[in-house]
Amino acid sequence: MYKDLFEYGLKNIRHKRLRSWLTVLGIVIGVAAIVLLIGIAQGLGDSVQDSFKVLGTNYAFIIPGNVGTSAGFGGSAPALAGQVTQRDLDAINRVQGVDFASGILFGNSMEVQYKKEKATLSVSGVQPNYGKSITTGYDSGGFFGSSDKSSAVIGYNIANEFFDDKIKVGNTISINGHDFKVVGITSKVGEGGFGRDDDIVINIDALREITGAGRNEYSGILAISQETVSPEIVGDRIKRELRNTHRVKEGEEDFTVFTAALVEEQFGQILGLLTTFVGGVAIISLIVGGIGVANSMFTSVLERTREIGILKAIGANNDTILKMFLIESALIGLVGGLIGVVFSVLILLLLKLVGVPAKISLELITTGLLFALIIGTISGAVPARNASRLPAIQALRYE
């Protein structure tokens, strides 16, 4: 019986093609929105998790100014002027549980030239012990020595994808007119590496000579905690030590300490809100599509009143009529769900090709199809009930 009802439902959908496709379109939009938006949100979440797997969780990064982490990234907490200096670096190195700390200087908008090609890129100046923080290894070469001011370590993308000719260990690049020999190319990390594949790293003193930055000032300080000590505990100790060094009270800091746990928590909050928001928008879209299904089914019941009467006259009972219309509305939802899933998966694949974190999972696809099927079935419930309750004689008299 169900096979006959299924075929009968498909026949009626094909019979009213324009109306059916317009109805299906509402479900397509809703399902595509669910799969697409949640897929992007989950992809971002996975990218953050991958970053911690790649970079580890035993680090803290100290920057000048209070960016108001309690208000979230970009929060409304006041930003107080400040700087991190050699005195701060020395203080951090004294903190119990710190394995080592390395000062970093950022050089933005630097002219980098390889052969005849030029590009404006960011360059980081680091102390030699920074090399110990690169746990992902090297595609070739290694880090520069303590007294080496004319060498550079570059990321995988800079070496292999950025310029027309690939850069190899031993080649020379120019930074603002100063030549540097490439001594190391880091292994490819991927989208989870917080941009490490695009790094250009040179000796901090060399970058100071290029930019004219003060010898005792840093853009930030990277601190790596010992494996036997909790990174969160070390982060709290660094905050206390720097408050003493800067002679400021808690809440009045002119510096910010980012730990892996804090970054993960902040990203988690943002992604949670994002997932909730896009999920809500997508579900609303699907409900609107469901209303379209209900409207189409009400119209279908009205147009097929005599047909219902004939079916009842030849032996169809109320339950059969109910199932007939429920299956038809469920089919509309399922067809819309299938098209919506295919459409959204294609878009997610395109986004992945251009580097946007996106996740495609069987669970997400199944969820989209189930939502479509459920919405389609629920939307057809009332019209199907009305159709099943029509008296046969009254239905046969309908003109």
Distance of CA 323 to the CA centre of its chain: 42
Task: Name the stretches of the chain with pLDDT < 50.
Answer: 70-81, 193-194
Total Cβ atoms within 10 A of residue 217: 15
Neighbours of 12 (CB within 10 A): 17
What pLDDT, on a 0 to 100 scale, did the predictor assign at position 299? 84
pLDDT at 98: 93
Q: Are strands 98-114 and 178-186 parallel, antiparallel or unpaired?
A: unpaired
- The reported pLDDT for the residue numbered 236 is 92
pLDDT of residue 274: 78
Structure confidence at residue 217 (pLDDT): 85
Identify which of 32, 39, 51 has the alpha carbon closest to the alpha carbon of residue 361: 39
For position 74, what pLDDT does the model report?
A: 39
**Crossing angle for the helix pair 260-303 and 318-353, nearest 10 degrees?**
140
Residue 3, pLDDT score: 65
Indicate the SS3 state at residue 398: coil
**246-284, pLDDT tens digit by residue?**
888 888 888 889 887 777 777 778 878 877 887 788 778
CA distances 394 to 210, 244, 299, 309, 321, Å, are 92, 89, 18, 8, 15
Task: Check residue 131 and give left, alpha or beta (phi > 0: left; psi -120 to 50: alpha).
Answer: alpha
Task: Report the run of H or E that residue 244 belongs to, with start and end.
Answer: helix 231-246
Residue 193, pLDDT score: 47
Each residue of 156-171: pLDDT tens digit? 999 998 898 999 999 9
